[in-house]
Structure 1
Amino acid sequence: MINNFFRPAVVLNGQGSHAEIHYTSVTITESGLDEAANQLADAVAGHWNREAGSRRLLKSQVPVHWRVSRHRLTTRVAAATAERGSPRFPPLPGLAPVTEESLRAGGSLADLHRVYGGLASGRVMIVGPAAAGKTSAAVVLLRAALEHRAEPASMPYRSGIPVPVLVTLDGWAPDDAKRDVVDWAVERLSSMHKGHRYLRPLLDTGRIALFVDGFDEVGEEVRALAVAALESAPFRVVLISRTEEAAHTAERELPAGAVALELDPVRPADAAEYLLDSLDDPAPAAWQKLVRQLLEEPDSAVARALADPLTVSLLAEVYAPHGPVEEVLGLADADAIRDHLLDHAVAAAYTRKPRPRGCRPYAPETAERTLRYLATRLTEEDTTVLCWWRIPSWPGQRSRAWFTGTAVTVVYLTVVVLALTAWIGPLWAAGAALMGWTLGTVDAGIRMSRLHHEQQLTSAGWRDVLPVLAVLGGLFDWIVVSGVAWFGLRFAGYPQNLLWCCLLGLPFGFGGMLMRGRAADLVARTIVAPFPLARRAREWIPELETATRVLGPRDVWRHHTRMLFPLGLLAGGAVGLYAGVLAATSNGAGFGLALGVAVGIGHALMAGVLSNAAIATALTGVQLSVREGTPLRLMAFLDDAHRRGLLRASGPAYEFRHVRLQERLARRPQ
């Protein structure tokens, strides 16, 4: 069977702050879609297995139960199960249809997959109060869905089992009439899953199920419009939200056919069993006293505090197995216990023995000081998303820009003067350096002002930046320019050696190759890209299919340091080569070499250093280390905090383990 679809090609604008989606017709076989879905499933499973480990979801979990919400978030359960009508989505292979009776009975987290795969409406909401474990429940459900899809028994029916992907609702533009929910999903997934070509056809055929987190973190107007749009989505949808925000949205726009599953408070017996599993047998006397109070006094401060999974897990992490848990017993109320555990969460993570694999020996005081600073900045910006590429816009942007610009200028002026003094004299060399510095300062200001914008991963690898057709196009430009230069100079009466003409055309060929690939922004505003139409040529090159992977913060960091940085230096070298060959043609090889070095160094500093968000973030880390006492290598610290479970990866950005931890760190006195 053959299907005709439109392949999305997401092209970032010059500032990287939003994406434009262009569609070209593509024919895909049914087996091709199945293979694409399998590749996506492998990438998603690998990512969430690692992330589940950092969130401590691979071992024992705090037992959580759910029931159908009583907050008028569900229209009619009978309609959602379609027991008397036609189902919108058939049950997934290997699962039975969900009945109203089984829904009313409730269940544990292990039962969520049964509801997700057997609900006829294909619309599930996971709701609950703050710290109820909603996102953890969604991750457990997602991994269960992936495991079900990977079972050998599901092999013959795998094409009918969608790949679950977890996204957040940020970037939603419901007032844009040109974009429907599938357009938004394609754009959102394209920024998180690189190397995948068939996102739109996979969504259109229901081979992807969308898990939407952060529903409660956007405005009420956006939530209502998003609910209306998601009702028509041709794929299964799982929404994750706090109960209060979901109830407010339901007053305006009730999700048709959706069943809201509300997470119950942790039962005292379940909390006691979880805590005892983390202790030695027999448990220390203080722990026995705490467990006894938890079970026998349901109105005590301990019992009320341990009603959510976050507090239960924090108690085990901070004090188990031999910590002074009696400190908790002396606190007056539930809020005091929660705050006390949050205050000790960072120290516990950095003093835990043995240290998690791959973690660095940071001092607890340094870690807490750094995380407190980050939490304060995020709270001031009214966000929970920590995008490392936005950190350079935080502290003293002007002073750092001045320092960086001055350092670059000193290097540039020194190179120019040393390279050109022997050929044109110190006065002319200083004048040329001053003119270059004036023009370069304007360009540097423009480039550095763009660093605080959204920086997405713009390619899937070197083969994507320089695909075969782009290389062939650059080779064609090189031959044409070299030939035209050779014939043109001979016709004008200034015949030159063919080798010189080939060197003259080399920067044009290199620039054309970059412009036809995925690196056009690196050579923008430089003479290495003299053909405006070359940028349009990228849209005609077939999109390269590379290994699918889910992007994390480290992937975007490596993209800037290992790809964009050397490409920027190469672009500067091409400009220097162009200027050097021109100068050598009329003034000799020595002067051409000197001028080429002077010009090339300047453009390499602009394209490779001042335009690179990773370098700006590294310099910001130095500045913060001096001013705030944070670690010198800030990105390495963020990765370490993620390994210790204090931060979690949300696509290419970080978030605090829970918004409560962020709020508590931001409020604590410094």
Structure 2
Amino acid sequence: MKREGRLSGFLYGATCLLFGAFSILLASKTLPGASMGEIDPLSAVIAIASFAVSLWFGRHAARSLQIQESNLTEAATRLSDAVLQLELPQRDLLIGGSARRIDIIFRCRREAGIEASNHAAYCRLEGIFEFFEETESKRLVITGDPGAGKTVTALTLLLGLLARRTEGQPVPVRFSMSSWDTHQPLVDWLVSRLERDYRVRRRTAQALVATRRVMPILDGLDEMDADGTAPGRRRAAQALRQLNLYQDANGHAPLILTCRSAHYNAVVGSHLRLEHAAHLQALKVTSRHASTYITRRSTNPGRWTQVLRHITESPLSPLARSLTNPWRLNLAASIYEHRDPVTSAYVHNPRELMSASLNTQEAIRDHLLGLFLPIAATQHWKRSTVYSPDHVHVWLATLAAYLEHNSTGNRRIGDRSLSSTDITLHELWPLGGYRTPRFLHAVLSLITWISLNVVMASLSLEFDTVEALSYIAMNLFGVCLIIMIYRDYWPTPRDFDLRQLRSHRARLKVALLMALGSLCMAFGMHVLGTPGLGVEVSVPIGSAIGLISGLMIHRREVGVEPRDPIRADHIFGLSAGLLLGVSFGVPSSLVVSPPSLGISAGLALGFCLGVQLATAGVRYFMLLLSTRRRSGRWLPWRLGRFLDWACRAGLLRTAGAAYQFRHRELQDWFAEHSSP
């Protein structure tokens, strides 16, 4: 750490010296006729040294603020509240909005080296928390068939742990494993997910993970690899190796892992498993338990008499096998208990499941999912005129096809693997094409940069050599900026954090940055000899730049909705652009004629710079521009609002800052059925 600090200090000092040397050289070139009386060499040296020292102390003031860790106990409490606020509705959504839960039974598969005071062979969902508490290692693997209730079990454990959590205990946080590129260390990935999903500051997230105040609940080991992936290239195997190295002071650190049974058994077959972990395998729902669940949930159990008799008398029939799956059982109950919002009459009759055409489990699956979409699309009747079932089908099929393509192709862009389950708005741009959104983004930046040149030229009455060189340098910088925008695969949403002004250190940092910005702008305008624009303009715009730099952050320390990062980035770009435009336009109106020219130039400048600053928001807009009806990848203009509606309708769910399909089977069905 000391070596890194010395190297950082050396590099920063060298940067200050180089900047000072460049300033002296530039001044000597631009002021060739100055005499000794006009420029005092000693004063110039002192001024440049003072400038370098101010940079040094400004940098250390900012660094000291970043290094200052908030109280980890309070940070853990805030994280706990955010997780509870996010995951409680998700659990309610997955169990179908009913207070009745399916009684899932687990087989306790004992692993070598795992001890528990309870040696029962089976465990119920209601007793899952007690089982986990009795496991000495606090490491658990939950497996089962697709739709067996693994995620519901993980959420039940998470909420139980949160309810019983005391100060100092770790906060259980659910992470979707499909987004983990296993070339990235586990700890770094957890930190990045806390940043993205819960807006925890990076240093706070690092401290929480390093002190093991976060208990990872890793959902979907099976979603890391497509079917048929060669054993040597499976990310799941690499993930298990890293999880086995995840330790705390007492040995292996607590965590919970979910995976489909077939995938986990395949990994175990290669002599690899999660070490020192208990193993619960979710069993199929018995006909008796299915009948009990439907009878208790239904307001008119008599409507189900024939179906319940059939699954009891013919337990090997396709219908009985389908209803032993908790996901499909819950789906069937939701569909056939649904009532018309106007007449209150039942929309469908359970006897439809007895149809001769539904003679396979796949046919029953397609039948249930085909009925579920219209019900979900119309149950929020106030929105029914906005989102027709056909439009909902097409839009969700577009998203599902994109996720399926990521899954089968193991796609990577830049340093990231594209997720096969997560729909993150500010990371969704590849759906519009590998190049198209980035190209459109670069074109818009080019247009705004040309407009910026026009604005600056309108304020200059004459061009001398120095000013011509300054315009050339500015445009070279613009070209570099446009290239960087095109090559920036993953723009980061930005936001203003006004809360940090409560801290004396933060206010000092902002004041230093504002003073530093003013000095830099005044020095630059003096050296470049910009005609007519001096201290009146340089000080306000330099102060504005310093204020924006001091308040700008990439994350907020609060769990938020998936749409908030894009909203925050839009607000940041507009606010920063407006602030820069006003700080430039108002002073310019005092030194140019007519004054309206300065105001207009300021507003135009603010818009141009706002577009350049809101990179994540602009990239998202380019995605929407690339997914119009004729593109073959049609999405609604107000995509975020639609995805929120889909969550309320029970089609999607949220996982941190991402949307996900409610169930992987639902996602696969939409991918297979691209049109209504």
- In which range does the TM-score fall when normalised by the shorter chain? 0.7 to 0.9
CA contact 2:377–2:384 (8 Å) conserved in 1: no
Provide closer, same or farther for how the CA distance between residues 437 and 622 of structure 1 changes in structure 2, counting only shifts above 3 A.
farther
Cα distance in structure 2, aligned partners of 1:313 and 1:166: 23
Provide closer, same or farther for how the CA distance between residues 376 and 561 of structure 1 changes in structure 2, counting only shifts above 3 A.
same
Residues 1:348 and 2:375 are matched in the alignment: yes
Provide closer, same or farther for how the CA distance between residues 457 and 407 of structure 1 changes in structure 2, counting only shifts above 3 A.
closer
**Aligned residue number for residue 293 of structure 1:** 310
Q: Please state how far the C-alpha of 1:347 moved relative to its aligned partner.
A: 1.4
Secondary structure of residue in 1 paired with 2:371: helix
Provide closer, same or farther for how the CA distance between residues 115 and 564 of structure 1 changes in structure 2, counting only shifts above 3 A.
farther
**Aligned residue number for residue 339 of structure 1:** 366
Superposition pairs for residues 575-586 of structure 1, below 5 Å? 576=584, 581=588
Cα distance in structure 2, aligned partners of 1:190 and 1:100: 38
Provide closer, same or farther for how the CA distance between residues 249 and 669 of structure 1 changes in structure 2, counting only shifts above 3 A.
closer
Cα distance in structure 1, aligned partners of 2:385 and 2:266: 45
CA contact 2:147–2:325 (8 Å) conserved in 1: yes
CA contact 2:436–2:626 (8 Å) conserved in 1: no
Provide closer, same or farther for how the CA distance between residues 269 and 463 of structure 1 changes in structure 2, counting only shifts above 3 A.
same
Identify the range of structure 1 (648-657 vs 50-59) with the bigger mean alpha-carbon deviation.
50-59
Superposition pairs for residues 362-401 of structure 1, below 5 Å? 362-382=387-407, 383-395=420-432
Provide closer, same or farther for how the CA distance between residues 377 and 205 of structure 1 changes in structure 2, counting only shifts above 3 A.
closer
Cα distance in structure 1, aligned partners of 2:512 and 2:179: 35
For structure 1, the 5+ residue unaligned runs are: 1-20, 82-97, 150-157, 426-430, 522-543
Identify the range of structure 1 (189-198 vs 374-383) with the bigger mean alpha-carbon deviation.
189-198
Secondary structure of residue in 1 paired with 2:111: coil
Identify the range of structure 1 (633-642 vs 359-368) with the bigger mean alpha-carbon deviation.
359-368
Superposition pairs for residues 6-85 of structure 1, below 5 Å? 32-55=71-94, 56=96, 59-69=99-109, 74-76=110-112, 79-81=113-115
Cα distance in structure 2, aligned partners of 1:213 and 1:255: 14
Provide closer, same or farther for how the CA distance between residues 199 and 601 of structure 1 changes in structure 2, counting only shifts above 3 A.
same
Residues 1:264 and 2:273 are matched in the alignment: no
Cα distance in structure 2, aligned partners of 1:182 and 1:410: 42
Residues 1:224 and 2:240 are matched in the alignment: yes
**Aligned residue number for residue 265 of structure 2:** 247
Residues 1:314 and 2:331 are matched in the alignment: yes
For structure 2, the 5+ residue unaligned runs are: 1-62, 225-234, 339-345, 408-419, 463-467
Q: Please state how far the C-alpha of 1:303 moved relative to its aligned partner.
A: 0.5
Q: Deviations over 1:337-363 (max 9, x none)?
A: 0122122322120123x659x998411
**Aligned residue number for residue 129 of structure 1:** 145
**Aligned residue number for residue 565 of structure 2:** 556
Identify the match of residue 513 of structure 1 among 541, 547, 563: 547
**Aligned residue number for residue 648 of structure 1:** 653
Secondary structure of residue in 2 paired with 1:124: strand
Cα distance in structure 2, aligned partners of 1:573 and 1:443: 26
Cα distance in structure 2, aligned partners of 1:198 and 1:58: 38
Cα distance in structure 2, aligned partners of 1:130 and 1:493: 70
Secondary structure of residue in 1 paired with 2:119: helix
Q: Please state how far the C-alpha of 1:658 moved relative to its aligned partner.
A: 1.4
Identify the match of residue 454 of structure 1 among 487, 490, 500: 490
Identify the range of structure 1 (624-633 vs 596-605) with the bigger mean alpha-carbon deviation.
596-605
Cα distance in structure 2, aligned partners of 1:465 and 1:342: 52
Equivalent residues, number: 566
CA contact 2:510–2:547 (8 Å) conserved in 1: yes
The CA RMSD measured in Å over matched residues stands at 4.4
Cα distance in structure 2, aligned partners of 1:632 and 1:369: 14
Cα distance in structure 2, aligned partners of 1:404 and 1:290: 56
CA contact 2:496–2:551 (8 Å) conserved in 1: no
Cα distance in structure 2, aligned partners of 1:436 and 1:495: 17
Q: Percent identity?
A: 23
Superposition pairs for residues 270-289 of structure 1, below 5 Å? 270-284=289-303, 287-289=304-306
Secondary structure of residue in 1 paired with 2:372: helix
**Aligned residue number for residue 320 of structure 2:** 303
Q: Deviations over 1:188-236 (max 9, x none)?
A: 3233222466444444544332211122223244233223223567641
Q: Please state how far the C-alpha of 1:380 moved relative to its aligned partner.
A: 1.6
Q: Please state how far the C-alpha of 1:367 moved relative to its aligned partner.
A: 0.6
CA contact 1:275–1:316 (8 Å) conserved in 2: yes
Residues 1:159 and 2:199 are matched in the alignment: no
Identify the range of structure 1 (467-476 vs 257-266) with the bigger mean alpha-carbon deviation.
467-476
Secondary structure of residue in 1 paired with 2:86: helix
CA contact 1:206–1:234 (8 Å) conserved in 2: no
Q: Please state how far the C-alpha of 1:120 moved relative to its aligned partner.
A: 0.7
Provide closer, same or farther for how the CA distance between residues 592 and 438 of structure 1 changes in structure 2, counting only shifts above 3 A.
farther
Provide closer, same or farther for how the CA distance between residues 640 and 440 of structure 1 changes in structure 2, counting only shifts above 3 A.
farther
- Amino acid aligned to 2:399: L
Q: Deviations over 1:394-437 (max 9, x none)?
A: 33676677777777877887898799779869xxxxx99x9999
- Amino acid aligned to 1:226: Q
Tell me the TM-score normalized by structure 2: 0.72
Superposition pairs for residues 598-613 of structure 1, below 5 Å? 598=601, 601=604, 604-605=607-608, 607-608=610-611, 611-613=614-616
Residues 1:617 and 2:620 are matched in the alignment: yes
CA contact 2:561–2:657 (8 Å) conserved in 1: yes
Provide closer, same or farther for how the CA distance between residues 160 and 481 of structure 1 changes in structure 2, counting only shifts above 3 A.
closer
- Amino acid aligned to 2:177: L
Cα distance in structure 2, aligned partners of 1:477 and 1:216: 52
Cα distance in structure 2, aligned partners of 1:661 and 1:593: 58
Cα distance in structure 1, aligned partners of 2:143 and 2:65: 36
Provide closer, same or farther for how the CA distance between residues 605 and 231 of structure 1 changes in structure 2, counting only shifts above 3 A.
same
Residues 1:474 and 2:513 are matched in the alignment: yes
Provide closer, same or farther for how the CA distance between residues 479 and 564 of structure 1 changes in structure 2, counting only shifts above 3 A.
closer
Cα distance in structure 1, aligned partners of 2:437 and 2:69: 51
Provide closer, same or farther for how the CA distance between residues 100 and 63 of structure 1 changes in structure 2, counting only shifts above 3 A.
closer
Provide closer, same or farther for how the CA distance between residues 412 and 33 of structure 1 changes in structure 2, counting only shifts above 3 A.
closer
CA contact 2:144–2:259 (8 Å) conserved in 1: yes
Provide closer, same or farther for how the CA distance between residues 201 and 634 of structure 1 changes in structure 2, counting only shifts above 3 A.
closer
**Aligned residue number for residue 536 of structure 1:** none
Provide closer, same or farther for how the CA distance between residues 465 and 660 of structure 1 changes in structure 2, counting only shifts above 3 A.
farther
Cα distance in structure 2, aligned partners of 1:634 and 1:611: 18
**Aligned residue number for residue 639 of structure 1:** 644
Secondary structure of residue in 1 paired with 2:257: strand
Cα distance in structure 2, aligned partners of 1:592 and 1:302: 79
Superposition pairs for residues 87-236 of structure 1, below 5 Å? 98-102=116-120, 104=121, 106-149=122-165, 158-159=166-167, 161-169=169-177, 172=180, 181-195=186-200, 198-218=204-224, 219-230=235-246, 235-236=253-254
Cα distance in structure 2, aligned partners of 1:618 and 1:589: 36
Provide closer, same or farther for how the CA distance between residues 385 and 443 of structure 1 changes in structure 2, counting only shifts above 3 A.
same
CA contact 2:522–2:534 (8 Å) conserved in 1: no
Q: Deviations over 1:100-143 (max 9, x none)?
A: 423x2x22212111122221111111111222111111011111
Provide closer, same or farther for how the CA distance between residues 479 and 560 of structure 1 changes in structure 2, counting only shifts above 3 A.
closer
**Aligned residue number for residue 10 of structure 1:** none
Residues 1:657 and 2:662 are matched in the alignment: yes
Cα distance in structure 2, aligned partners of 1:186 and 1:249: 26
- Amino acid aligned to 2:267: T
